[in-house]
């Protein structure tokens, strides 16, 4: 497991003298992780876009980094989308991960549900796009291109053609988490940012 958010959370563990460590972080399919953070006390989900609809579902620590959610396409398809209306008028199919911000943004924007296909994971969605099983993929731009590179695809073969949202990513904690723990994590993150640690982590990744 690696990435900016993993490194930042590990640094927060160290800064707060927590008994937790990198080894306590678990990877789950996004929808299961989202459901776990909603239902099980003492859980944290990351990285999570903080939206109005999610605001009262969790307690929040952040921001971690800025994120752009886009519609990605194969470059050789020459797909041009200038608005949600364009998408709804088209015959394009869009891959999403259930409960992911890409799926939520599409639904909030009024995209016809029959155009949206749920994939079991981000890797599955990426493969669906690459193999032409879908026309578009709604996902975090940075994570998508990193994932393509990790799986041996050429980033130049893909492009972001439409921005769904730009926002910051956070750690989302179960809503019954004690405020003192939330405050301690936030204070640690703020100190790490002031000390330049977050910038170093971001540049390293």
Local confidence band at 205 (pLDDT 50, 70, 90 cut-offs): low
Q: What is the pLDDT of residues 142-201, one digit of tens each?
A: 999 999 999 999 999 999 999 999 999 999 999 999 999 999 999 999 999 999 998 888
Q: What is the DSSP letter of 76?
A: G
Local confidence band at 99 (pLDDT 50, 70, 90 cut-offs): confident
Total structural domains in the chain? 2
Angle at the Cα of 34 from the Cα atoms of 200 and 164, rounded to 5 degrees: 70
140 and 113 co-located in one domain: yes
Cα–Cα dist 95/37, whole Å: 24
**Mean pLDDT in the chain?**
94
37 and 82 co-located in one domain: no
178 and 111 co-located in one domain: no
Q: Can you name the residues that pair with 123 across neighbouring β-strands?
A: none
For residue 31, the enclosing domain spans: 4-66+167-204
Q: What is the pLDDT of residues 11-25, one digit of tens each?
A: 999 999 999 999 999
25 and 95 co-located in one domain: no
Cβ neighbours around 195 below 10 Å, total: 12
Local confidence band at 57 (pLDDT 50, 70, 90 cut-offs): very high
**pLDDT for residue 204:** 64
14 and 48 co-located in one domain: yes
Local confidence band at 92 (pLDDT 50, 70, 90 cut-offs): very high
User: What CATH number has the domain bearing residue 199?
Assistant: 3.40.190.10
**pLDDT for residue 4:** 87
**pLDDT for residue 83:** 96
Local confidence band at 71 (pLDDT 50, 70, 90 cut-offs): very high
pLDDT surpassing 90 at residue 1 = no
Crossing angle, helix 4-15 and helix 197-204, to 10 degrees? 150
For the chain, the farthest-separated pair of C-alpha atoms sits apart, in whole angstroms, at 54
């Amino acid at each position: 497991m690696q990435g900016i958010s993993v490194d930042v959370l590990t640094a927060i563990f160290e800064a707060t003298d927590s008994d937790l460590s990198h080894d306590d972080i678990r990877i789950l399919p996004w929808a299961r992780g989202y459901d776990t953070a909603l239902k099980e006390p003492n859980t944290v989900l990351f990285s999570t876009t903080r939206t109005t609809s999610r605001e009262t579902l969790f307690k929040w620590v952040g921001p971690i980094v800025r994120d752009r959610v886009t519609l990605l396409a194969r470059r050789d398809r020459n797909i041009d989308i200038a608005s949600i209306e364009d998408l709804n008028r088209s015959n394009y199919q869009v891959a999403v991960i259930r409960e992911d911000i890409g799926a939520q943004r599409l639904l909030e924007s009024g995209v016809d549900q029959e155009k949206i296909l749920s994939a079991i994971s981000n890797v599955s969605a990426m493969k669906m796009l690459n193999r032409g099983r879908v026309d578009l993929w709604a996902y975090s731009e940075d994570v998508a291109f990193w994932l393509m590179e990790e799986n041996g695809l050429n980033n130049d073969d893909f492009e972001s053609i439409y921005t769904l949202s730009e926002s910051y990513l956070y750690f989302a904690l179960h809503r019954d988490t004690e405020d003192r723990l939330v405050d301690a994590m936030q204070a640690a993150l703020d100190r790490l940012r002031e000390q330049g640690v977050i910038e170093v982590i971001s540049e390293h990744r």
